[in-house]
């Protein structure tokens, strides 16, 4: 009950601070979210995180400058970027889960996206504006739900002045989480010169599945693309990497699943 009241109070506070809290939404709670604490702390408070994002967008800008000079085939050039934890910072929603025990659910996520309050990640705004200055279009391919989040997401992006924040360039999820189809759609009219994301499937279909040693063999076989055509941003909070990384065990707590899945030295003192 205390958690619920706290969550609702936080939600109303955030609503007051934004212009777009459309309605109060039910929240669901599943208990502790302590596994998120260190990753959210790192994401919000480490200068290393800031440096890594700026580094990623600096490299992306250099690659774009090179791509702009390459003679095209007559079709416009484009950048494809993910939104969440690539362009927009949703770590306040992760922190909300820790503070309240609220779980990730469609309803809770909608509560957050309706606020249109996600701030740009370091370097994101500068990079997308630089692309625009080169005449290279930016397509935002995101797995936010088109039905639930299209309006608030556009509002969020326009609030911070992102270029190409329009229905032609914001491609949210309709029927499939795979982004391959949406990229094929873009390729029918544009040359994609750069792909950016915090999730490897944002940049290459090889990572639609991670059966092959957590996807690491895929990274090795595509090593020439990283820092060239593919730019990957750090996200320790969540992603497609989590589920394949966890050793399954019936009845195990989330903590125990995490602990069983990491490799250490054997001293005989393990808990
Ligand atoms: Mg993302």
Token code pair at residue 261:
């899945």
Whether 41 contacts 51, CB under 8 Å? no
Range of the domain at 82: 2-234
Summarised one tens digit per residue, pLDDT across range 99-113 is 998 888 999 999 999
- Count up the domains in the chain and report the number: 1
User: Rounded to the nearest 5 degrees, what angle is found at the Cα of 116, between the Cα atoms of 85 and 6?
Assistant: 90
Buried (b) or exposed (e) across 179-198, using 16+ Cβ within 10 A? beebbeebeeebbebbbbbb
Summarised one tens digit per residue, pLDDT across range 75-93 is 999 999 999 999 999 999 9
Q: Is residue 265 part of a domain?
A: no
Q: Is residue 94 part of a domain?
A: yes
Tell me the CATH number at 176: 3.40.50.1000
Share of the chain above pLDDT 90, in %: 72
Query: How many whole angstroms from 74 Cα to the centroid of ligand 1?
Result: 31
Query: How many whole angstroms from 40 Cα to the centroid of ligand 1?
Result: 15
Q: Provide the pLDDT confidence category of residue 31 given band limits of 50, 70 and 90.
A: low
Q: Which of 31-35, 100-104, 121-125, 263-267 has the lowest mean pLDDT?
A: 31-35
Mean pLDDT of 193-213: 94
pTM of the predicted protein model: 0.88
Please give the pLDDT value at position 28.
Answer: 59
Query: How many whole angstroms from 78 Cα to the centroid of ligand 1?
Result: 19
Q: Is residue 85 part of a domain?
A: yes
Query: How many whole angstroms from 83 Cα to the centroid of ligand 1?
Result: 6
Strand spans (E) along 61-197: 77-81, 88-89, 119-120, 137-145, 170-173, 191-197
Q: Is residue 102 part of a domain?
A: yes
Between 156 and 213, the higher pLDDT residue: 156
Q: What's the CA gap between 225 and 15, in Å, rounded?
A: 42
């Amino acid at each position: 009950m205390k958690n619920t009241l706290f969550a609702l109070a936080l939600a109303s506070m955030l609503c007051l601070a934004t212009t777009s809290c459309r309605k109060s939404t039910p929240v669901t709670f599943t208990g502790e979210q302590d596994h998120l604490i260190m990753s959210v702390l790192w994401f919000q408070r480490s200068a290393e995180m800031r440096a890594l994002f700026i580094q990623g967008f600096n490299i992306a800008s250099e690659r774009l400058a090179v791509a702009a000079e390459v003679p095209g085939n007559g079709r416009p050039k484009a950048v494809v970027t993910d939104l969440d934890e690539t362009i927009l910072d949703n770590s306040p929603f992760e922190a909300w889960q820790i503070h309240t025990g609220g779980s990730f659910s469609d309803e809770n996520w909608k509560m957050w996206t309706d606020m249109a309050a996600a701030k740009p990640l370091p370097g994101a705004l500068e990079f997308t504006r630089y692309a625009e200055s080169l005449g290279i279009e930016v397509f935002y391919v995101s797995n936010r739900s088109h039905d639930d989040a299209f309006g608030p997401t556009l509002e969020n992006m326009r609030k911070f002045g992102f270029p190409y924040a329009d229905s032609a360039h914001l491609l949210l999820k309709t029927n499939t989480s795979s982004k391959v189809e949406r990229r094929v759609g873009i390729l029918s009219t544009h040359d994609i010169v750069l792909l950016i994301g915090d999730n490897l499937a944002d940049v290459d279909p090889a990572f639609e599945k991670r059966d092959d040693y957590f996807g690491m063999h895929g990274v090795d076989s595509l090593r020439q693309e990283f820092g060239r055509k593919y730019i990957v941003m750090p996200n320790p909070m969540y992603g497609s990497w989590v589920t394949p990384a966890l050793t399954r065990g019936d009845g195990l707590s989330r903590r125990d699943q995490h602990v069983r899945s990491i490799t250490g030295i054997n001293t005989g003192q393990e808990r």
